[in-house]
Structures are given as C-alpha cells and as structure tokens.
C-alpha cells in the first residue's frame, strides 16, 4: 500500500512539473528564521486516518507525496483527491487531515505544518491558501 502511495505521489509530481491544471492542494514558500527563501528542501505531505487511533499513537498515513522547494523557496502539491483520500474522508465528514514536513539534507532545521482540506462531490470543496512557512522553534 505504501509503495502505491509513493508511486502515486511521483506521478502527481510529474504532473505538477508539466504545468498541470489539477487543483493546488498545498503550496507556499519555505523561509529561514530571517525570512529568506530556502531552496532545495524536501517537502513531504501526508494524509492521515486518525479514526480509532488510541491517544499517543501516530495515525497511519493513507497517502504520501514528496516535492522539493524551488530556487525561490516555493513548492506546491497539485492533485485531485485520489480514492484513498476520498475513502478516508467519507466517515470524517469529507475532511482530510494532512501533515507536512520539510527538511534540508544534512541540516537540523525542520519545518512542520498541519492542515485540513475538505473533499466534495467535484473534488476539493475548499480553497487552498498559500503559506509562508518558517521553521519550527
């Protein structure tokens, strides 16, 4: 299952690179603590199914996609909701819980962010808002 999610994520990213017309799910600009853009960071977006998960236990990821920030620190994930997200969101009122993390290879700085998106009958029911993303303290 994880292999399928990673493969799907790779296919999604290939579509992003070609100027896809798919909707933006999560986008923004990575910045350092001084507000300068951070290029070349790996950005990981995961969707979690947190139903029936005991306290203190990490919820399982049902979807994963990976990209890198550009020379200007910008990144984006574009895709229509795949079936595994639709299935996970259905019993949760159409909501998908995402976590995102960004790391620079060989450096201790980590960016983390959590977001919720809503899936409707025609795809994403809400609007993605780009973020300025600074590292977690």
Question: For 32-79, how does the pLDDT look when each residue is reduced to its tens digit (9 = 90+)?
Answer: 989 999 999 999 999 998 778 788 888 889 999 999 999 999 999 999
**What total number of domains does the chain contain?**
1
Nearest to 61 by CA among 115, 16, 6: 6
Q: What is the pLDDT of residue 52?
A: 80
Whether residue 64 contacts residue 25, with contact meaning beta carbons closer than 8 Å, is answered with no
Q: CATH number of the domain that 56 lies in?
A: 2.60.40.10
pLDDT band at 4; cut points 50, 70, 90? very low
Per the CB < 8 A criterion, the answer to whether 112 and 137 are in contact is no
Comparing 106 with 27, which gets the higher pLDDT?
Answer: 27
Mean confidence (pLDDT) of the chain:
85
Instruction: Count Cβ atoms below 10 Å from residue 106 Cβ, excluding itself.
Output: 5
10 contact partners, CB below 8 Å, separation of at least 6: 66
92 lies in which domain range? Answer: 2-133
User: What is the predicted pLDDT for the residue at 11?
Assistant: 41
DSSP state letter for 84: H
Tokens representing 136 are 């977690």
SS3 at position 19:
coil
- Tally Cβ neighbours within 10 Å of residue 70: 15
Model pLDDT, residue 76? 97
Torsion, Cα of 91, 95, 96, 101 (10° steps): -150
């Amino acid at each position: 299952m994880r292999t399928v999610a990673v493969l799907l994520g790779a296919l999604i990213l290939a579509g992003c690179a070609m100027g896809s017309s798919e909707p933006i799910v999560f986008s923004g600009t990575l910045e350092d603590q001084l507000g300068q853009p951070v290029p070349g960071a790996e950005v990981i977006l995961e969707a979690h199914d947190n139903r029936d998960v005991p306290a203190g236990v990490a919820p399982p990821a049902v979807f994963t996609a990976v990209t890198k920030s550009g020379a200007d620190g910008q990144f984006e994930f574009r895709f229509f909701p795949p079936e595994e997200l639709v299935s996970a969101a259905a019993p949760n009122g159409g909501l998908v819980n995402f976590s995102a993390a960004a790391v620079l290879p060989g450096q201790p700085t980590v960016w983390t962010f959590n977001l919720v998106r809503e899936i409707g009958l025609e795809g994403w029911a809400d609007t993605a808002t780009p973020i300025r993303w600074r590292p977690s303290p």
